[in-house]
């Protein structure tokens, strides 16, 4: 329970960093470009996407990679990370213990 909340909060911090990076690009260039999940993933580890693509293409005649994973990789990173973080924080929230009467 606690570990899920910690991971959720860390992902939320990453979402804020991604939004800050997008806003810094707006300030620096004067045009807004939201970084996609795939762009950030490519910067962090470019080889993993290639390694992940082959098994996903072999499952279900390739439908799992294109269009599903391609659509996910094209989503804005800040929004995607924020939604994932909030879902994790909500799923692993503290619940009130019910007392027996």
pLDDT digits (tens, 9 = 90+) for 33-57: 999 999 998 888 888 888 888 888 8
Residue spans of the domains in the chain: they are 1-34+84-94, 36-75
Query: pTM surpassing 0.85?
Result: no
From the first residue on, what is the mean pLDDT of each consecutive set of 10 residues in the chain (101 residues)? Answer: 93 95 92 91 87 81 80 94 95 81 67
CA-wise closest residue to 11 among 77, 57, 101: 77
| Other beta carbons less than 10 A from residue 11's beta carbon | 20
The pLDDT of residue 50 is 84
| Other beta carbons less than 10 A from residue 56's beta carbon | 15
């Amino acid at each position: 329970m606690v570990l899920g909340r910690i991971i959720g909060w860390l992902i939320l911090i990453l979402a804020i960093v991604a939004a800050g990076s997008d806003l810094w690009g707006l300030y620096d260039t004067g045009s807004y470009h939201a970084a996609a999940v795939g762009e950030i993933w490519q910067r962090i580890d470019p080889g993993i996407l290639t390694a992940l693509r082959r098994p996903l293409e072999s499952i279900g005649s390739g439908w799992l990679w294109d269009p599903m994973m391609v659509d996910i990789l094209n989503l804005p990173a800040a929004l995607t990370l924020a939604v994932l973080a909030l879902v994790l924080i909500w799923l692993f929230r503290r619940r009130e213990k019910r007392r027996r009467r």
